[in-house]
Amino acid sequence: MRSMHIAVLLFNFLYYLSPVYSNCPEAPKCDKGYLYRSFDGTCNNLGYPLYGKPDLTYDRLLKANYDDGISTPYKAKDGGPLTPARTISNKLYPDIPLKDPIWTLILMQYGQIVAHDLSNIKQEGPDNCCTNETSKNPKCFAIEVPFDITDRMSLAGIKCISFIRTTTDRDQGCYTENEPVEQVSDVNSILDLSVTYGNSLAKSQELRTGLGGKLKVENRNEQDWPPRDPTPTKTCFLPNTEEACYLTGDKRGNQNLQLTVLQVAYLREHNRVCDILAELNPHWDDEKLFQEARKICIGQHQYVSYYEMLPIFLGRDNLLNYKIIYDTDDFVDDYDSSVNPAVYNEHANAANRYFHSNIEGYLKLYSDKFRLSYSSVRLSNWFDRPSFLEEGDNFGGLCRGLTTQLESNVDTFHTSEITQYLFKKAKTFGKDMKAADVQRNRDHGFRSYNDYRELCGLKRATKFSDLSGEINELAIILLQKLYKSVDDIELTTGGSVENHVQGALAGPTFVCIMLKQFSKTRLSDRFWFERSGKTGFTLDQLNEIRKASISRLLCDNSPTTDYMQPEGFKYTSIFGNKLQDCNTLPSINYTKWKE
């Protein structure tokens, strides 16, 4: 721990004094007595107030690997080109529809909310990197689509998929000379429900009414919806200009229907909590009501993320052993001011993206009490088009669908809705998320899969056969066809074909990386919901927060949903986790907040 403190002090000395950092942001002055967290993550760490801020770089588990040592994407070990990312996607991640036997689609979707809360690559470049004019633009790193009779894009005559490189510290003029570039995230790196409240004070003010602590809504068909985005054509795909396009705390809030369901649910939850607190404490002003409701909603979000979602993805025993969760009714005061909350690049842009395999291509809508499917909707028809939710009872039907429909199995198989038709808009084909994941691996200069194996305690492979037992034989054969050397295997691909750790939904390398990340996220947060003291909850309030659940969140914010299973991430059946009246599910007793 002493060496970690020294490293942090050295970093800050260089950050503030080195002339290389002349274009870096200035640290704000912090009010040490202020009880609530900022919107942009600053002043969470009083010693290093810039920690957590948007537009700063990701952290790294291993130093970047670039061909020129600075930013040029690496080549194969023998100096030749790597297999095109589109070919890897087409061969390694085909569309074979296998269902998870236990977990519902809302599990995948909550994972995306957490991912969006913690990071987002910043990109600045041309709209299309596949033209003669843009092909040599330094911000472009287009994905080649080689001719292949097994590739539907290739057969349609598509030869290129646009891809923009992530903005780096060099682009922003805040970097260390002769060091590899580091990519920038444009959201704060705190798990603080910034998808609802925004990543800046200005954004939060744009979202607030200024009355009763509430966030802005528009009421249509007796339901509250996020306000309209003032620049809808920049945010959404709108075949009809009358369609809704929402203004949310995160610019990705309209990206897909399931995501928008949770964006709407947390918006409604905030305002619902405001009404309760206002009745209990009529003397509280707008600011007090807003901040207390925000604090409660963030507490619920952190609890559901860590105690309900992560045990499924990473294994409860792993989380307990790694001290990411605790079996206690008491406070947990494990804040560590030496930990920088900056998200690991390898987590955000490789390991965590493994769960794209959970995505379902068609979303089912279900009735309430008896959970009968009555409709379905194709995912790619509604990218960046949230207006579907306002038609009839589609919002309620999808809330019930997300907690009833099984997610796709966690494996290498991916729906073609994201590998052929992603953001296709009015076109026949769109982008390829898995090809983009592989290309991003190269853009960000991640070291080889072998290097991360070693980091995570696995034996380094010297030949493909050394992977036997940890990766199934068919996957090894595919890797041999796609990579000339075992050292060419990339983190994104190698981690995705590992056999899963017992009790978890990923292999040992990705589990290792994600455990490191989620430990870092809680340790670095001075306002973490389990902390004691003036910035925290009382113990009675904390144990009320611990009653939160994904099921209760949807019950309370879907007016046409009256029944839900206690464990919303888990499939309901006659053998257990049965549907029950929403009013019988555990709920927070808000009288603990009465002054």
Question: What digits encode the pLDDT tens for the residues 248-277?
Answer: 999 999 999 999 999 999 999 999 999 999
Q: Active-site residue among 5, 116, 301, 444?
A: 116
132 lies in some domain: no
Q: Is 356 annotated as a binding residue?
A: yes
Pair 564, 579: CB distance under 8 Å: yes
pLDDT for the residue numbered 115 = 98
Predicted confidence band at 573 (pLDDT cuts at 50, 70, 90)?
Answer: confident
Question: What digits encode the pLDDT tens for the residues 524-551?
Answer: 999 999 999 999 999 999 999 999 999 9
474 lies in some domain: yes
Query: Is the pTM above the cut of 0.85?
Result: yes
151 lies in some domain: no
The answer for residues whose C-beta is within 8 angstroms of residue 279's C-beta and 6 or more apart is none
17 lies in some domain: yes
145 lies in some domain: no
Distance from C-alpha of 171 to C-alpha of 190, rounded to nearest angstrom: 24
Pair 295, 302: CB distance under 8 Å: no
DSSP one-letter code for 307? I
Distance from C-alpha of 273 to C-alpha of 56, rounded to nearest angstrom: 33
Residue range 337-363: mean pLDDT, rounded: 98
Question: What digits encode the pLDDT tens for the residues 288-327?
Answer: 999 999 999 999 999 999 999 999 999 999 999 999 999 9
Predicted confidence band at 445 (pLDDT cuts at 50, 70, 90)?
Answer: very high
528 lies in some domain: yes
Percent of the chain scored above 70 by pLDDT?
A: 96
150 lies in some domain: no
Residue range 198-210: mean pLDDT, rounded: 98
Predicted confidence band at 23 (pLDDT cuts at 50, 70, 90)?
Answer: confident
DSSP letters, 284-306, are --HHHHHHHHHHHHHHHHHHIII
pLDDT at 20 over 80: no
Residue range 69-76: mean pLDDT, rounded: 98
pLDDT at 22 over 80: no
Q: What is the three-class DSSP state of 448? A: strand
Distance from C-alpha of 46 to C-alpha of 28, rounded to nearest angstrom: 10
**195, 201, 206, 207 alpha-carbon torsion, rounded to 10°:** 40
Distance from C-alpha of 375 to C-alpha of 388, rounded to nearest angstrom: 13
Distance from C-alpha of 272 to C-alpha of 294, rounded to nearest angstrom: 11
Give the largest CA-CA distance in the chain: 71
User: Domain total for the chain?
Assistant: 1
pLDDT for the residue numbered 21 = 52
DSSP one-letter code for 197? H
pLDDT at 19 over 50: no
pLDDT for the residue numbered 4 = 42
Pair 212, 57: CB distance under 8 Å: no
Residue range 574-592: mean pLDDT, rounded: 96
CATH assignment of the domain containing 190: 1.10.640.10
Question: What digits encode the pLDDT tens for the residues 450-462?
Answer: 999 999 999 999 9
On average, the pLDDT of the chain sits at 95
DSSP one-letter code for 228? B
Q: Which residues of 4-31 are buried (b: 16+ CB within 10 A; e: fewer)?
A: eeeebeeebeebeeeebbeebeebeeee
Residue 433: both structure tokens together: 């998320």
Q: Which domain holds residue 64?
A: 2-123+165-593
Question: What digits encode the pLDDT tens for the residues 366-420?
Answer: 999 999 999 999 999 999 999 999 999 999 999 999 999 999 999 999 999 999 9
Distance from C-alpha of 425 to C-alpha of 382, rounded to nearest angstrom: 8
Predicted confidence band at 11 (pLDDT cuts at 50, 70, 90)?
Answer: very low
21 lies in some domain: yes
Distance from C-alpha of 345 to C-alpha of 184, rounded to nearest angstrom: 9
The answer for residues whose C-beta is within 8 angstroms of residue 152's C-beta and 6 or more apart is 416, 420, 429
**Is 301 noted as a catalytic residue in this protein?**
no
pLDDT at 133 over 70: yes
- How many Cβ atoms are within 10 Å of 157's Cβ, its own excluded? 9
Q: How far is CA 455 from the centre of its chain?
A: 24
pLDDT for the residue numbered 575 = 87
Residue 131: both structure tokens together: 């033209």
Q: How far is CA 91 from the centre of its chain?
A: 26
